[in-house]
């Protein structure tokens, strides 16, 4: 992919297990197929996800972790960090921000994908809004400027500059990635989240019909993924010129 030609490592911050597959699964598969290293950071365990009354929080906690690992492996993702925050309780606070900064400094991604926190025209899950906002703050200035979280210096970590953030689920995408070559991988990864989608798959009448349904729901988006890019690199250049 020309756009990500010079990228080596990519971090994906997902509020819950399954959001990343839906938001950027096709692009992640393209990146790993191109030999790029992708690191997943799963913010919450998703232990309150779903309407099925038979599933307890304990069951969902374990099940969704397994499903996330399977989905990530379908997309060629080798590193998964489970932050383990409780579903619905993500906060714009020190524990979450410092965990993101720590992992950015450990893995040193060139770019980061997460969910757009700035939607205005329709509802957004609170965990999604907070995951997007805190990721943006973690990238700049916290991860870059080494004196934020000085305990990391004692752990031998340096500041790290993530060059760009790509938001999925944006109302104003400015970059579109053609995923026609990885859409099957994406569909399989989405369907690995059985606790969340199996009843839809069954109701649709099986895998093929479910994919047809997804195409109907997102007729323009099914073979491409749209992102809004925050160009940190460009912003830093402007700062340095001042």
Residue pair 128/22 in contact (Cβ under 8 Å)? The answer is: no
Judged by CB, which is closer to Zn ion: 5, or 51? 51
The nearest distance, CB 153 to Zn ion, in angstroms, is 34
Judged by CB, which is closer to Zn ion: 17, or 76? 17
Q: How far apart are CA 152 and CA 174, in angstroms?
A: 35
Judged by CB, which is closer to Zn ion: 70, or 178? 70
Residue pair 212/222 in contact (Cβ under 8 Å)? The answer is: no
The nearest distance, CB 229 to Zn ion, in angstroms, is 21
The nearest distance, CB 49 to Zn ion, in angstroms, is 7
Judged by CB, which is closer to Zn ion: 46, or 173? 46
Residue 157 in tokens = 């970590």
The position carrying tokens 């943006």 is 136
Type and span of the H or E element at 241? helix 232-241
Q: How far apart are CA 18 and CA 125, in angstroms?
A: 14
Which residue number places its CB atom closest to Zn ion?
A: 16
The nearest distance, CB 242 to Zn ion, in angstroms, is 38
Residue pair 49/93 in contact (Cβ under 8 Å)? The answer is: no
CB count within 10 Å of CB 70 equals 15
Judged by CB, which is closer to Zn ion: 19, or 67? 19
Helix (H, G, I), strand (E, B) or coil at 62: helix
The nearest distance, CB 241 to Zn ion, in angstroms, is 39
Judged by CB, which is closer to Zn ion: 110, or 196? 196
Q: Which residues bind Zn ion (CB under 5 A)?
A: 15-16, 19
Residues for the chain: how many in total?
Answer: 242
Type and span of the H or E element at 84? strand 79-85
The nearest distance, CB 18 to Zn ion, in angstroms, is 7
């Amino acid at each position: 992919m020309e756009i990500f030609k010079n990228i080596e490592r990519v971090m994906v911050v997902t509020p819950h297990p399954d959001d990343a597959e839906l938001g950027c699964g096709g692009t992640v598969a393209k990146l790993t197929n191109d030999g790029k290293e992708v690191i997943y950071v799963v913010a919450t365990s998703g232990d309150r996800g779903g309407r099925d009354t038979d599933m307890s929080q304990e069951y969902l906690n374990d099940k969704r972790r397994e499903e996330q690992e399977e989905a990530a492996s379908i997309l060629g993702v080798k590193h998964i960090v489970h932050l383990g925050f409780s579903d619905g309780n993500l906060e714009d606070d020190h524990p979450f921000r410092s965990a993101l900064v720590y992992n950015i400094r450990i893995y040193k991604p060139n770019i980061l994908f997460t969910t757009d926190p700035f939607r205005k025209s329709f509802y957004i899950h609170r965990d999604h809004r907070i995951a997007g906002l805190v990721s943006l703050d973690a990238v700049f200035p916290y991860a870059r400027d080494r004196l934020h979280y000085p305990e990391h210096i004692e752990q031998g970590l340096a500041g790290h500059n993530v060059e760009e953030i790509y938001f999925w689920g944006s109302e104003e995408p400015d970059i579109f990635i053609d995923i026609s070559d990885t859409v099957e991988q994406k569909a399989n990864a989405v369907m690995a989240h059985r606790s969340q989608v199996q009843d839809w798959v069954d109701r649709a009448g099986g895998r093929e019909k479910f994919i047809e349904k997804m195409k109907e729901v997102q007729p323009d988006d099914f073979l491409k993924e749209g992102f809004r890019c925050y160009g940190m690199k460009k912003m830093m250049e402007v700062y340095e010129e001042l």
